[in-house]
Amino acid sequence: MSSHPSFDAERALALARKTLDIEARAIEGLKARQGDAFVAVVQKMLECRGRVVVMGMGKSGHVGRKVAATLASTGTPAFFVHPAEASHGDLGMVTEGDIVLAISNSGESDEIAAIVPALKRLGTTLVAMTGKPDSSLARHADLAISSAVDQEACPMNLAPTASTTAQMALGDALAVALLDARGFREEDFARSHPGGVLGRKLLMHVADLMHGGDAVPRVDIDTPLPEMLREMTTKGFGFTAVTQGGGAICGIFTDGDLRRLIETGAADLRGLSAGAVMKGPPHRIRSDALAVEAADLMERQRVTGLLVVDAKGELVGALNTNDLMRAKVI
């Protein structure tokens, strides 16, 4: 395959490394630029009874969408509004008590400047994230935090590169400071991501996955062995609970127990009862436990199925690794 006649592999690699160096220095430089203003913005967002409305034009707008999404998924209600669309009706999405986070490297975006008076009349708090602390946006904002960089990675110092990287990192810093101050936990994150792996692990309970009712393999303690084997075969779990007096669990009998029983050479297996061959106490888990807890228990005990009990310890269901795999818990 022929390459472009002007392509220089060594130069391309050198520019890539230079770009990464410039952007790394840009983020490193942000640390010294954050102080009381950053803290004040975090406090304002914590106290906000409305939403954080993120705005930005061009590349700053793309960053703003990501910042809004990160805030929303970490406990701070937020959404993105395009400044140009705000001038044509979308400003109605902003209400009194909201905080507007306006992102602009130059701080001179015409589209944002055009709606600043309207934002002021609404009674919103305007926060500027800008690379120019003396810009129009910074002067009109209630609070301003610096996303300034010494240079862009673009060789012509024109294309937003290091500046948008800095904006993205500063947005993440805000989100992390806020989630920590809110005491945001894994469980809270899972509620915002019910379709994700963490959501399935932290929100799904054993009761959501278990087999209940007639699907649960169970026999009475006096049940003959042949009948017990039919119950195991019919229900397809590879085990059956042995109960007494309704739902009280006495023990369990598995396919493995059957193999070991045959290996002993015991005579007249048909004459044995469930109580004579069962093992116990069996591993069990409560129906209100998290599904991930069931997965952990199975792994620790090296079993492929569990009996499920209610708060009184009575049998209400059965669960196996196939159920957990189908739900993508494991």
Whether 196 is in a domain gets the answer: no
Q: What is the pLDDT of residues 23-45, one digit of tens each?
A: 999 999 999 999 999 999 999 99
Kindly state whether residues 120 and 260 are assigned to the same domain. no
What pLDDT sits at residue 196?
Answer: 53
Of 133, 152, 184, the position where a domain reaches its end is 184
At 106, the amino acid letter reads: S
CATH number (domain holding residue 82): 3.40.50.10490
Give the residue among 95, 96, 101 at the shortest CA–CA distance from 72: 101
Q: Assess contact for 102 and 55: CB atoms under 8 A.
A: yes
Residue 200 placed within a domain: no
Task: Provide the number of structural domains found in the chain.
Answer: 2
Phi/psi at 318 (5° precision): -145, 150
Domain containing 172 equals 9-184
3-class secondary structure, 28: helix
Q: Within this chain, do residues 113 and 215 fall inside the same structural domain, yes or no?
A: no
Judged by average pLDDT, the poorest of 71-85, 129-143, 260-274 is 260-274
Distance between CA atoms of residues 17 and 31, nearest Å: 22
Give per-residue pLDDT as tens, 185-241: 666 555 555 555 555 566 688 998 999 999 999 999 999 999 999 999 999 898 999
Mean pLDDT (whole number) for 150-177: 91
In total, the chain counts a number of residues equal to 330
Question: Does the bond joining 194 to the residue before it have cis omega, within 30 degrees of 0?
Answer: no
CA geometry: angle 69, 71, 76, nearest 5 deg: 130
Residue at 201 is within a domain: no
258 and 114 inside one domain: no
Q: Is 129 a residue whose pLDDT tops 90? A: yes
